[in-house]
Amino acid sequence: MFRGKVEKLIGASFLIAALISLNAKEFNLQTASVEDINDAFEAKALTAEKLVKLCIARIEAYDQKGPKLNSVIAVNPNALEIARKLDEERNISGPRSRIHGIPVLLKDNYDTYDMPNTGASKALVGSIAPDDAFTVERLRDAGAIIFAKVNLSELARSGVSISSLMGQTLNAFDQSRTPGGSSGGTGAAIAATFGILGTGSDTGQSTRSPASANNLVGIRPTFGLISRDGIIPISYTQDTAGPITRYVADAAVMMDYLVGFDPKDKATWEGIDKYPESYTSYLQKDSLDGARIGFVPQLLGDGSHPDHPIVTKVTMKAIEDMKSAGATVFPVSIPLLDDIAAGSFVLSVSGFESMWTMDEYFTSLGPDSKFKNLKEFVAAGLTYKPILDRLKEDTKLENALDNPEYAKRLINQSRFQDKLVATMDEYALDVLFYTHQKRLVVPATKNPDQVERNGFMGSSSGLPAITFPGGFSPASNEAPVGVPIGIEFLGRPFSEAKLIKLAYSYEQFTKHRTTPPATPSLPGEAFEYQ
């Protein structure tokens, strides 16, 4: 009789344990979205302090050890203290926002008052700005932890993320390749979960290239939507700032805290009242159903490189998936693209604006600035040589803003935007679609050059674009799951909400997001909670 009661009690215990396990939530740092992290915060299964410790452990395991991604310039020495204070605040008065206690990785061309802002240049080691960049201040005010500064193509001047300060950052999925650029440090580090959210800057394609190369999401906003104040500049006309994240939903969350008028950046007058109360309200899974999408075949490779068929195959599969999700997808032709490819219709103005913008930036640093102007910076001779050579050429353009060629290119950019919008209007399109680049991200050889990128569609037109995971190349010894290939949607001015809506729908339909095999989970990163 006693034995029977014991057996019943044991059976009941197992049943209760099974029911508890059935109702338990699973947390995995490598796959967790901002929403997942907030759920764990709310259940008191996770704290900001613990989250920061987990990210530090991953940096210690994988940035200079293991795959040696070489992405992190500096971790905020006060990160744990900041996290503890934010945890205390949460317990007393609740979270400030959805990003309260979330570690953010900054491309190291964003000013911070409490950490050096080097632009990944030896010449700027120890340079500290008098205040935060506008966007950094917004993130701090929302309770985000400014966790670390990461590598970039020095001064954001190339597409491969190599610098005099850090050297070459490596791709999280294939360590024989670059991570794209110029925001490649952010791309590699976010892919490896060294932080949860990241920032990029995009003059040519510098936010979207690392997103494409590292199976991430990157947004280039419409010119004027997000302030560039406090970000080391290249071109007043083409510079933008934006998020790099693992999921579209995370990018939407981050956008809410990046947009806004800034009197220090006059361009943001254009963005006043042109963003929704929250971009997260556009995260609708079935948004592709009924969408009209224009595919641009001119932006495919011509078959002259072995990578072209690989990227084309991913593109064709993306079209099939969009159609399966209910979208109408059809090819459109943009005549100006042929002229651009032939070199008869030139768009870039960054070289003409470079010296002007850099001189203004050094002035903004105040009397403690290491350099008064770009010429002094170049004369120091500490910059990665290919970048230094480019900067030398920029300093030769005296009175560049009065150059007739500069004026011609500004007109060309305006014409290009008009043509793209007219094409979308003609066919009643929601977006234009293409792969971010015609080839895979390039090998990390000596002085690599990232070629055949299509990101100029956004940077040279001023139109918004979002890049997101589109698939992978075939697996290889160097890339066990293949090399990521990003696809891109381009929209009308200030259509970021629509871009997010359609990209989210594609993401949820295809589920291309995965984690890099070279940076597996560490102890304590995955757990169950009630």
SS3 507: helix
CA distance 139 to 153: 24
User: Would residue 344 show up in a list of annotated catalytic residues for this protein?
Assistant: no
What is 290-350 written as a DSSP string?
A: T-EEEE-GGGS--SSSTHHHHHHHHHHHHHHHHHHTT-EEEE---HHHHHHHHTSS----H
CA distance 46 to 129: 33
Does residue 209 have a cis bond before it (omega within 30 degrees)? no
Strands (E), 116-208: 145-150, 162-163, 167-168, 197-201
Of the residues 121, 153, 158, 206, only one is catalytic, namely 206
**Number of Cβ within a 10 Å radius of residue 346:** 14
Contact 285, 504 (CB under 8 A): yes
Contact 465, 345 (CB under 8 A): no
432 bridge partner residues: 294, 490
CA distance 78 to 114: 9
With tokens 């006309």, the residue in question is: 237
User: Would residue 182 show up in a list of annotated catalytic residues for this protein?
Assistant: yes
- CA–CA distances in Å: residue 232 to residues 133, 203, 229, 235, 238: 10, 11, 8, 10, 13
523 bridge partner residues: none
Q: Do the bridges between strand 217-220 and strand 197-201 make them parallel or antiparallel, or are there none, so unpaired?
A: unpaired
Contact 184, 208 (CB under 8 A): no
CA distance 328 to 337: 23
Which string of b and e fits 451-485 if b means at least 16 CB within 10 Å?
ebbbbbbbbbbbbbbbbbbbbbbeeeeebebbbbb
What is the 8-class DSSP label of residue 473? P
Of the residues 158, 161, 182, 461, only one is catalytic, namely 182
Contact 334, 344 (CB under 8 A): no
Q: Do the bridges between strand 241-245 and strand 217-220 make them parallel or antiparallel, or are there none, so unpaired?
A: antiparallel
Element of type H or E holding 243: strand 241-245
Long-range contacts of 321-326 (CB under 8 A, 24+ apart): 321/506, 321/509, 321/510, 322/288, 322/291, 322/293, 322/433, 322/506, 324/509, 325/286, 325/288, 325/289, 325/505, 325/506, 325/509, 326/286, 326/288, 326/289, 326/290, 326/291
Residues designated as active site? 107, 182, 206
